[in-house]
Amino acid sequence: MADLTDRYDVAVIGGGITGLAAGLELLKQGDCDVTVFESAEQVGGKLQTTDIGSVTVDAGAESMLAVRPEALRMAAEVGLKPSIVHPASRTAYVLSGGHLRELPVGLVSGVPTDMRSLAAARIMSLPGLLRIPIDQLKSRPEVADDVSVGEFISERMGREVVDRLTEPLLAGVYAGNPDELSLRMVNPSLFRQLARDKSLLQAARAVRSGSAIAAGARRGPVFAGLRNGVARLASKSAEVLVAQGAHVRTGCTVKNLRRSGRRWQVTGSKGTFEFDAVVLAVPAAQAATLLRTSAPFAAAQLRSIDAASVAVVTLAYRTSQVPELAGTGFLVPPIEDYHVKGVTFVTNKWEWAARAAKTATPRGLTIVRASYGRYGDDAVLERDDEALASLARAELGAIVGLPPVTVDHRVTRWSKALPQYRVGHVDVVNRARESLADAPGVALAGASYDGVGIASCIASGRQAAKKVARELSEDVVENYG
């Protein structure tokens, strides 16, 4: 362990956006030497790009929350503020009864709050609409510990709300079954509000009102992107880390982590190194493997966190052959009997992509992304790339009339990419973290623990960095103060 005059050596295992954020936060402490280990040949994790029809677009996450400060702040810190952009349209649709219907305003994790907008959207049947207000006649909701999102909304407002609104909205984010997802994780604000209000509708309206105030305070759209792709946030962050003296070791898989006296020994494919502290910015399954000997109880907790695999099919069409496409895209609930769960009209959503695609060929291109994969239903992902691309072309043809022939296509697979926040997830993570008190100098960070999305991952990484920096400082005071 370093003394009062030394610097700390800190390892960050995982070079996704979580690990990069942790590394940048550690450098702010001023007395940390940082090494980031990434098993892939490039940083970024699920922030990657792909080239299609000579146009570079995101192959993973393609937008970030703008109503939270973390992502935009990090972009500005690494010099990307001039590249921040917002969607060209805010209109999105959901497939209902074979027709694309505009998503109503006022949805809070799939809970409707504006009945007039919902009725006008014609997404639900009349009996389904009439069932919703009964929520206010029921007894006060009881959610002392945690509840299933789907089961709770179904009991309060009827199953049609879950099938037509909640499921498609959450599927794109979590690729999970709403009946298994934790309300406490999916929408912490709504979960807390339920303790104060007499009905789900009242609580959702309160959350929506608070969110609207926050969004109004920053006077901007809910989502943001980066010109030429949000994956640039990862690559630029790595450049800044290196410029500030950090080591970023790509192509280096960490295979073992063990306590060595007062330090941590990290063994990877490129050697063994010792550190004063470690931030584990990897999915729960990998963290469990690395902690199996030094923190077996924590490892057991983390092994219970499962994840879903997904695939993104990106298609490029000749614009002259494409019918008019409205809005930024649409969601597809399973009850519509399609495999695709969500579609983004990339060149409708992002002006920079539209400009690049317009000049990519003499007649221009229209680029569309289709998302596949739900937890527990991996059969569609067993198809090879060509078969999956053919399925996407067929389903997009049936739903919006896109032609059966494309100029180019790419299939990007994300294995075990989206953690499944089952009921009680918060308690599982808390138990794991509390048990790490017996393994000082280690912190967990990432989507497996604190929420999906770029902003959530950045916040998690920075919090973990602050934790280990604080522990190192306290250790010095205890031993030398």
pLDDT at 201: 96
With 0-12 / 13-18 / 19 or more C-beta atoms within 10 angstroms meaning exposed / middle / buried, residue 183 is buried
One CATH from 3.30.420.40, 3.40.47.10, 3.50.50.60, 1.20.1640.10 for 8-45+230-305+421-480: 3.50.50.60
Per-residue pLDDT band at 327 (split at 50, 70, 90): very high
Mean pLDDT (whole number) for 424-451: 95
pLDDT at 481: 44
Compute the mean pLDDT over every residue in the chain, rounded to the nearest whole number: 93
Q: Assign 3-class secondary structure to the chain.
A: CCCCCCCEEEEEECCEHHHHHHHHHHHHCCCEEEEEECCCCCCECCCCEEEECCEEEECCCCCEECCCCHHHHHHHHCCCHHHEECCCCCCCEEEECCEEEECCCCCECCECCCHHHHHHHCCCCHHHHHHHHHHHHCCCCCCCCCCEHHHHHHHHHCHHHHHHHHHHHHHHHHCCCCCCEEHHHHCHHHHHHCCCCCCHHHHHHHHHHHHHHHHHHHCCCCEEEECCCCHHHHHHHHHHHHHCCCEEECCCCEEEEEEECCEEEEEECCEEEEECEEEECCCHHHHHHHCCCCCHHHHHHHHCCCEEEEEEEEEEEEHHHCCCCCCCEEECCHHHCCCCCEEEEHHHHCHHHHHHHHCCCCCCEEEEEEEECECCECHHHHCCHHHHHHHHHHHHHHHHCCCCCCCEEEEEEEEEEEECCECCHHHHHHHHHHHHHHCCCEEECCHHHHCCCHHHHHHHHHHHHHHHHHHHHHHHHHHHC
Whether pLDDT at 247 is above 70: yes
pLDDT at 209: 87
Condensed to tens digits (0 to 9), the pLDDT of residues 300-310 reads 999 999 999 99
* pLDDT over 90, % of the chain: 86
Topology classification of domain 307-419: Polyamine Oxidase; Chain A, domain 2 (3.90.660)
The residue among 69, 62, 106, 108 whose CA lies nearest residue 85 is 62
| Superfamily of domain 106-217, CATH level 4 | protoporphyrinogen ix oxidase, domain 3 (1.10.3110.10)
Condensed to tens digits (0 to 9), the pLDDT of residues 166-222 reads 999 999 899 999 999 999 999 999 999 999 999 999 999 999 988 655 444 445 688
The residue among 12, 21, 36, 9 whose CA lies nearest residue 463 is 21
pLDDT at 211: 64
Condensed to tens digits (0 to 9), the pLDDT of residues 253-277 reads 999 999 988 899 999 988 999 999 9
Whether pLDDT at 473 is above 90: no
pLDDT at 219: 54
Mean pLDDT (whole number) for 96-101: 96
Taking the whole predicted model, whether its pTM rises above 0.85 is answered as yes
Condensed to tens digits (0 to 9), the pLDDT of residues 4-59 reads 447 899 999 999 999 999 999 999 987 899 999 999 999 999 999 999 999 999 99
Residue 20 CB coordination number (10 Å): 34
pLDDT at 221: 80
Per-residue pLDDT band at 238 (split at 50, 70, 90): very high
pLDDT at 475: 67
When comparing pLDDT for 105 and 6, which is higher? 105
Mean pLDDT (whole number) for 372-387: 94
Mean pLDDT (whole number) for 108-128: 96
pLDDT at 480: 42
Where do the domains of the chain lie?
8-45+230-305+421-480, 106-217, 307-419
pLDDT at 320: 95
Mean pLDDT (whole number) for 442-448: 97
Residue type, 90: R
Mean pLDDT (whole number) for 57-62: 96
Condensed to tens digits (0 to 9), the pLDDT of residues 139-157 reads 988 888 899 999 999 999 9
Whether pLDDT at 70 is above 90: yes
Q: Which of 27-31, 106-110, 228-232, 468-472 has the lowest mean pLDDT?
A: 27-31
